[in-house]
A = this chain, B = another copy of it.
Amino acid sequence: MKVLAILSLLVCSCYATTPTPLVIWHGMGDSCCNPLSMGSIIRLVEGQIPGIYTLSLKIGDTTTQDIMNGFLKPIPEQITMACEQIKADPNLANGFNAMGFSQGGQFLRAVAQQCDGIKMHNLISVGGQHQGVFGFPKCPNDLTFCDTLRDMLNKYAYNPTIQDHLVQAEYWHDPQHEDVYKSSNIFLPDLNNDVTVNEVYKQRLMSLNKFVMVKFTSDTMVQPIASEWFGFYAPGQAETVQSLQESDLYKNDQLGLKAMDQNGQLVFLATDGDHLQFTNEWFITNIIPYLQ
């Protein structure tokens, strides 16, 4: 009996010390394997959770393809590729946490809702835009390019050719034309159960342990910032912002978010700073607990 007890203790302690693996997805203009961005994040996580297995998703065969696909490959195809990578990795078979940066946040939510046969525990969205974006207040390019991009998105974002070839158009959300958005955007309205309620999406999202959303309160890249907490402009105009809790999506519980909120499954974190700007200390205090 004593031997059995010791063995059982050993088994339990071994089990307890195997950290939950982590899947990460980078943001626009970044790649799986930039040593200073995702590399630093992985190193920070590994420093706090020794022995953790991490997978930084690469969409395409090369890091260059991965960068370009972040602009050009239709999001549904990217979600399929990510889903296949995760399912093919034996280290993730018993479940994993997922953490997405910027657009990687909504992409990993799509993986949670659309990828059959995976076990995602916690989903952490760091500056993700769950209701899309409408505008580039501080576009990190020259003025002519920014004006052209804004103009193009305002006029042509929902053109089928643009939808099939520009990733950012696939989460472009024009609140002044909600009907066009719902009928022509190929990614976000479907994902958010805005048109029809996909019960599978709802059940899969609700099966998460926690859905953590990080908002950057001084974000100059995302408009409106509320989208990082699943809020957006009230329909029909582009000035007044409403929170997730004020939206019909929540009130009608089309996606299960109301139930999740009431069950304590939604975590809303805010940090002062521009887009994706946080300190290691903030990350260790606020994010690491959800990765353990």
Residues of A at under 8 Å CB distance from B? 27, 29-41, 43, 61-64, 67, 71, 101, 140-142, 144-145, 221, 274-277, 280
A37 to B30, CA, bound (A): 9
Majority SS at the chain A contact face: loop
Q: Given that A141-B61, A145-B62 are contacting pairs, would A40 and B33 also be in contact in the complex, using a CB cutoff of 8 Å? A: no
Asked, given contacts A30-B36, A36-B40, whether A62 binds B142 with beta carbons under 8 Å apart, the answer is yes
Residues of B contacting A34 with CB < 8 Å?
29-30, 34, 36-37
Complex CA gap A27/B274 in Å reads 22
The docked-state distance in angstroms from the alpha carbon of A40 to that of B283 is 13
Contact in complex: A62, B141 (CB < 8 Å):
yes
5 contacts between A and B (CB under 8 A): A35-B277, A36-B36, A36-B101, A37-B40, A61-B145
Specify how many copies of this chain sit in the oligomer: 2
**Beta-carbon contact of B63 and A29 below 8 Å:** yes
Bound-state Cα–Cα, A63 to B31, Å: 13
In the complex, what's the smallest C-beta–C-beta distance from A146 to chain B, in angstroms? Answer: 9
B residues in contact with A101, CB < 8 Å: 36
Residue of B35, B64, B221 touching A276 (CB-CB under 8 A): B35
A26 to B140: give the CA distance in the assembly, Å.
15
| B residues in contact with A276, CB < 8 Å | 35-36, 39
Bound: A27/B31 CA distance, A: 13
A280 to B274, CA, bound (A): 19
Contact of A37 among B37, B67, B140 (CB under 8 A): B37
| Residues of chain B lying within 8 A (CB to CB) of residue A280 | 280
Report the separation of the CA atoms of residues A150 and B279 in the bound assembly, to the nearest whole angstrom: 38
Chain B's closest residue to A149 (CB) is B62
A67 touches which of B36, B38, B67, B274 (Cβ 8 Å): B67
Q: Which chain B positions have C-beta within 8 A of A275? A: 35
CB atoms of B277 and A140 under 8 A apart: no
Chain B, residue nearest A67 (CB): B67
Give the CA-CA distance A61 to B41 in the complex, in Å. Answer: 28
Q: Is the CB of A43 within 8 A of B277?
A: yes
**A-B residue pairs, 3 tightest by C-beta:** A36-B37, A35-B276, A33-B140
Interchain CA distance A43-B35 in the complex, whole Å: 17
A62 — which chain B residues lie within 8 A by C-beta?
Answer: 141-142, 145
A141 to B59, CA, bound (A): 11
Distance in Å: Cβ of A286 to nearest Cβ of chain B: 16
Chain B residues within an 8 Å CB radius of A38: 36
